[in-house]
Amino acid sequence: MSDTVQKSLSAQSWRDLILLAALWGGVFFSNRIALFEIGPITLVAHRTVWAALLLWCLAIFRKTSISLSPRLWMVFCVMGLLNNLIPFSLLNFAQLTVESGLASIFNAATAFFGILLAALFLPDERLTMTKTMGVALGFLGVATAIGFSHLTAFDPRSLAQIAALLATLSYGFAGIWARKHLTGVSPLIAAAGMLTCTAVIATPLAHYIEAPLTLSLGSATWAAITYGAVFGTAGAYLLYYRILASAGSGNLLVVTLLIPPFAIVLGALFLNESLPPRAFAGFLLLAIGLIVLDGRWLAKRGSTRDS
């Protein structure tokens, strides 16, 4: 992330970041509610079908130019797999066993995988000493949150936590793919296209692996699906790209720090979840790692020392 140290955040950008964190923090809560009735892949299918429809309607309403080549659809399909189908399914699977707040803490590892993968696959990215320190702290935080004893004991809870981590790895690959193939594509069309491809793949997959998709679901499940599709996916993507344009990709690292508090509080209030102390210790290490990656605090300390 070559632009990690960049623009100062305006008051509006802070409001947008907090809103985006609240939306995505709420997704962990809504997913847990929906998973009481439907399976992980079925939830992905519902979430992406309705979100894609909403975004295409918005594109038509805005009269957005839509020019889609077979190559671009292929790009959308790969992006849909890496950014939606694989990580959504893995996180949903994880939430069958681990707390929604803990899943959101693991989700913060996305930034660290993104840094490593960018250094491997993007020629303009270098793994500097500062980035190496930040990544090391981040992965130490992940290991702490999992619990060192669970790293060798592969019980269902351990497997669920590993699934959550693999989801963040998939997000990291999605970021590389987007950098290489989606530059210049309208954010609205890119989001609608990848969600459409995800829905087309996830719907038959859910049908054969879990159960035929049905609209006969409980009101709580529909409320959770509606939130996840409308606010946590379609609305969140639009807000994400607005922050990206106004504040830069480096500042979007901040949102990964802000998501877990929302997920943890919602899980504690409405799902009676409680996290072990190691989860909070791991989150603290993740936060320190992200601060090191961001670089502004260290740069400010250095300039103060030199003055």
**pLDDT tens-digit map of 255-292:** 888 999 999 999 999 999 999 899 999 999 999 998 88
Please say if the pLDDT value at position 242 is more than 60.
Answer: yes
Alpha-carbon gap, residue 204 to 45, rounded angstroms: 9
CA-to-CA separations, 101 to 24, 123, 279, in angstroms, rounded: 12, 35, 9
Alpha-carbon gap, residue 238 to 245, rounded angstroms: 11
pLDDT band with cut points at 50, 70 and 90 for residue 297? low
Residue with tokens 């309208």: 186
Q: Round the average pLDDT of the chain to a whole number and report it.
A: 89
| Amino acid identity at 204 | P
Tell me the average pLDDT across 179-205. Answer: 95
pLDDT band with cut points at 50, 70 and 90 for residue 11? confident
Domain boundaries, the chain: 11-306
User: pTM for the complete prediction?
Assistant: 0.90
pLDDT one-digit tens code per residue, 200-233: 999 999 999 999 889 999 999 999 999 999 999 9
> Residue 64 corresponds to which tokens in the numbers above?
């957005």
